[in-house]
Amino acid sequence: MCGVIGFNWDDKTLLKKLSNIIEHRGPDDVALYTDRHYSLGMRRLAILDLKKGLYPIYNESETILTVFNGELYNYKKIRAELIKLGHKFKTDCDAEIIPHAYEEYGPLFVNKINGMFAICLYDLVKKKLFLFRDRLGIKPLYYYSEGKRFAFCSEIKALLVIPKFQKEINESALNNYFTFRYVPGEDSIFSKIKKVLPGHYLEFDGKIKIKKYWDLHFSKNNNSLEKNAIYVKNLLEHSVKRRLMSDVPLGAYLSGGLDSSAIVALMSKHSNNVNTFNVSFSDSEFDESKYAQIVADEFNTNHEVIDVDVNAIDTLPKVAYHLDEPLADAATIPTYLMSQQTKKKVTVVLSGEGSDELFAGYERYRHMNAAFKFKHVPKFIRNIPSKIKSDNIVFNRGKEVLSKLDKPKDAFLSYFTFFNDKDKKLLYSKNINKKNYDLNEYFGKSIFNSMLKLDVKERLPGNMLLKNDKMTMAASLEARVPFLDHELVEFSSKIPFNQKITLFKDKLVYRESIKKIVPKIIYKRKKTGFTVPTSAWVKEGLKDHLFDLVEQNKEPYLNKNYIKKISDKVHKHFYYKRQFWSILMYEQWYNEFMVKR
Q: Which pLDDT score is estimated for 40?
A: 97
Q: Are 452 and 489 in contact (CB under 8 A)?
A: no
pLDDT band, residue 539 (cuts 50/70/90):
confident
> C-alpha angle with apex 131: 127 to 134, nearest 5 degrees?
155
With a cut of 60, say whether residue 537 has pLDDT above it: yes
**Phi, psi dihedral angles at 349 (to 5 degrees):** -135, 140
> Which domains does the chain possess?
2-212 (3.60.20.10), 225-315+325-360+456-523 (3.40.50.620), 363-448 (no CATH), 534-595 (no CATH)
pLDDT in tens, 179-200: 999 999 999 999 999 999 999 9
pLDDT-based confidence at residue 438 (cuts at 50, 70, 90)? very high
Q: What is the pLDDT of residue 389?
A: 83
Task: Tell whether pTM > 0.85.
Answer: yes
Distance CA 92, CA 204 (A): 29
How many residues would you count in the chain? 597
Secondary structure of residue 38 in the 3-state scheme: coil
Write the DSSP assignment of 258-287 as a string of letters.
HHHHHHHHHHHHH-S--EEEEEE-SSTTT-
N- to C-terminal Cα separation, the chain: 27
Average pLDDT over residues 330-341: 92
Average pLDDT, integer, range 405-424: 91
Higher pLDDT, 527 or 104: 104
| Mean of the per-residue pLDDT values of the chain | 92
What local confidence, expressed as pLDDT, does residue 397 receive?
83
Asked whether the predicted pLDDT for residue 441 surpasses 60, the reply is yes
| Angle of CA points 266, 279, 334, to nearest 5° | 120
Rounded-to-integer distance, Cα 183 and Cα 325, Å = 8
CA distance 503 to 43: 48
The tens digit of pLDDT for each residue in 149-171 reads: 999 999 999 999 999 999 999 99
What is the per-residue pLDDT for 49?
61
Question: Quick one: average pLDDT of 579-583?
Answer: 96
Confidence class for position 101, pLDDT limits 50, 70, 90: very high
Categorize the per-residue pLDDT at 92 as very low, low, confident or very high, splitting at 50, 70 and 90. Answer: confident
Look at residue 400 in the predicted model and tell me its pLDDT.
87
Q: What pLDDT is recorded for position 529? A: 61
Q: Which residue has the higher pLDDT, 58 or 391?
A: 58
Confidence check: pLDDT of 52 > 60: no
Full DSSP string of 429-488: SS----PPP--TTT-SS-HHHHHHHHIIIIIIIIIIHHHHHHHHHTTT-EEE-GGG-HHH
Residues 327 and 336: their CA atoms lie apart, in Å, by 13
| Distance (Å, whole) CA 401 – CA 411 | 5
pLDDT at 533 exceeding the cut of 80: no
User: Which residues are known to be catalytic?
Assistant: 2
Q: Are the beta carbons of 409 and 415 closer than 8 angstroms?
A: no
Residue 590 phi, psi (nearest 5)? -60, -40
**Residue 590 buriedness (CB in 10 A; 0-12 / 13-18 / 19+):** buried
Cα torsion through 167, 158, 2, 62, rounded to 10 = 110
Q: Quick one: three-class SS letters along 141-177?
A: CEEEEECCEEEEECCHHHHCCCCCCCCCECHHHHHHH
For residues 143 and 151, is the Cβ–Cβ distance under 8 A? yes
- Determine the Cα–Cα distance for residues 319 and 471; give it in Å rounded to an integer: 7
pLDDT of residue 399: 85
Average pLDDT (96-107) is 97
Q: Which helix (H) or strand (E) holds 76?
A: helix 75-84
Q: What order of strands is seen across the sheet that includes strand 64-72?
A: 57-58, 64-72, 115-123, 128-133, 200-204, 208-212
CA distance 355 to 274: 21
Give backbone dihedrals phi and psi of 567, rounded to 5 degrees, phi first. Answer: -60, -35
Q: Give the whole-angstrom CA distance, residue 43 versus residue 50.
A: 14
pLDDT of residue 266: 97
Q: What is the pLDDT of residues 499-514, one digit of tens each?
A: 999 888 899 999 999 9
pLDDT digits (tens, 9 = 90+) for 267-316: 999 998 899 999 877 665 656 788 999 999 999 999 999 887 677 889 99
* pLDDT at residue 436 is higher than 70: yes
Confidence of residue 574 (pLDDT cuts 50, 70, 90): confident
For residues 340 and 525, what is the distance between their CA atoms, to the nearest angstrom?
Answer: 29
DSSP state of 416: H
The CA distance from 57 to 66, in Å, is 5
Helices (H), 181-279: 225-242, 258-270
pLDDT digits (tens, 9 = 90+) for 67-85: 999 999 999 999 999 999 9
